[in-house]
Amino acid sequence: MAHENEFVTIDRKIITRPFLFLLTVTIIGFVFIAIRYVKGIGAVSNLSDGYPWGIWIAYDVATGTAIACGGYAMAILIYITNKWKYHSLIRSALLTSLFGYGLAGLSVTIDLGRYWNLYNLFIPSRWQFNSVMFEVAMCVMAYTLVLFIEFLPAILEKIKGKDNRLSKLAAYIYPKLNNILIFFIVLGITLPTMHQSSLGSMMTIATHKLHPIWHTGFLPLLFLINCIYLGFAAVIFESILSSFGFNRKYEVNELSGLANIIPWLTVVWVSIRIGDLIYRKEISDAFSGDFYSVMFLIEFLLIFIGSIMLLNEKIRKSPRWLFITACLILFGGGLYRMNVYIIGFNPGYGWRYFPSFSEFMITLGIVAFEVLLYLIFVKMFPVLPSGHNTEVIVTEEVLEKSEKMAGRLEWQER
């Protein structure tokens, strides 16, 4: 379905200074991962029987997959609401989603105490349909595969352009895959709808451990809407950052379009959130000023301020402000998920949790690995928009800014 010249491969050297930095962080992370496998989870983490889940689940899985929902959010926008003008952004969104989900999967295998028993998930007689975890596990695995298939055209385009045996095969598969791709695209919308809402349902079972500000029957719906606006914010974040880093033209027109959608979603989300708090008579808790209330207010204000800012057209047209507001939404929406998974979680009786240095390093290593793979892939495969099919309006302001930024980023070229 894609126009072949819609996307370009970034023609740059792969080994750059940021590359080496990310590689170092990745290697450090993987050293700690190795220690975890030799000495056990207790040796590297501050996890306990009171807090069996820490940042590996709360950040890497529950929050990371939401930030990786760019592919999902863009697919809804492009294929369901038929906004084809955003199609040029789909591949980079899919790529970040693919790595986001793939590495969330990696985090899970690090976190799983008895990973060698994982095969039981594939034995139908062992399936436990009451378990939200089961639903999430199956859906996330399936979706990661779907993401790979959705991204496959980019890889095939690259291979078939070359002259070897593999390229013939690629040329043969490519049009066929394009014909059936729609089945996977729709699957790629259905699966996240299922597991992102289930990620919310997951914590409903902690009825009295999760603080009432967050524990509600609406968790699945809140998580679903949350991941869509986080997805859009992540696309804005990623696009601006890579335009900045690669010294390319900002996709201001498309991005401001996306930014325009976010407030609509957050308005619905905030209404459900507040309405539910009032309905359950927990609204006074939320504003009581204690630790939980402060966490709620931070989360709430970040989303609220970010959304209000995005209502302003000037902000939506400025890459810098777009970037700042996208960050506000990402932090606020991400904090919501962290609140649900650890910060608002209290098992009672003196249990405490704060992630250990090794836990942080493992999470950082995984994030660095994700960015590293992104940098390699955009330089190997046609991922970023070429700008040929788009109607980008480059304003004076944008040009001036991008030149300034390019100046600051000269080292990236070398």
Partner 1 sequence: MKKKSRREFLKTTAGLIAGTTVASVVNVEASEKNYTKDDAYSMLYDATLCVGCKACVSACKKTNGLPPVKGDFDKDGLWDAPKDLDSKTRTIIKLYKENEDNWSYVKQQCMHCAKPSCVSACPVKAMKQDENGVTFYNPDVCIGCRYCQVACPFNIPKFEWEKTFPKIVKCDMCKFTSLKSKGEPACTEVCPAKAVIFGKRKELLAIAKRRIKENPDNYINHIYGEHEAGGTNVIYLAAAQFEKLGFPKLDNESPATFTENIQHTVYKGFVAPVALYATLFFVAVKNREKREKDNERGDN
Chain residues that interact with partner 1, rule: CB under 8 A? 1, 37-43, 47-50, 52-53, 79-82, 84, 111-115, 117-118, 120-121, 126-135, 137, 182-183, 185-187, 189-190, 193-194, 197-198, 201-209, 217-218, 220-221, 224, 347-349
Alpha helices in 251-356 (DSSP H): 252-279, 283-286, 291-310, 313-317, 319-338
The distance of closest approach from Cβ of residue 76 to partner 1 in the complex, given in angstroms and rounded to an integer, is 8
Q: How far apart are CA 207 and CA 314, in angstroms?
A: 44
Return phi, psi of residue 121, to 5°.
-65, -15
Q: Which is nearer to partner 1, 97 or 239 (CB)?
A: 97
Q: Which is nearer to partner 1, 109 or 312 (CB)?
A: 109
Cβ atoms of residues 69 and 97 within 8 Å: yes
Say if residue 98 is exposed, middle or buried (CB neighbours under 10 Å; 0-12, 13-18, 19+): buried
The distance of closest approach from Cβ of residue 186 to partner 1 in the complex, given in angstroms and rounded to an integer, is 5
Q: Which is nearer to partner 1, 192 or 245 (CB)?
A: 192
The distance of closest approach from Cβ of residue 251 to partner 1 in the complex, given in angstroms and rounded to an integer, is 20
The distance of closest approach from Cβ of residue 11 to partner 1 in the complex, given in angstroms and rounded to an integer, is 30
Q: Which is nearer to partner 1, 7 or 374 (CB)?
A: 7
The distance of closest approach from Cβ of residue 40 to partner 1 in the complex, given in angstroms and rounded to an integer, is 5
Q: Which is nearer to partner 1, 240 or 343 (CB)?
A: 343
The distance of closest approach from Cβ of residue 90 to partner 1 in the complex, given in angstroms and rounded to an integer, is 13
Q: Which is nearer to partner 1, 52 or 257 (CB)?
A: 52
The dihedral over CA atoms of 236, 237, 239, 245, expressed in degrees to the nearest 10, equals 160
What separation in angstroms does the CA of 251 have from each of 76, 307, 367, 392? 19, 20, 25, 6
Q: How far apart are CA 228 and CA 73, in angstroms?
A: 5
Q: What is the CA angle 236-376-337, rounded to 5?
A: 40
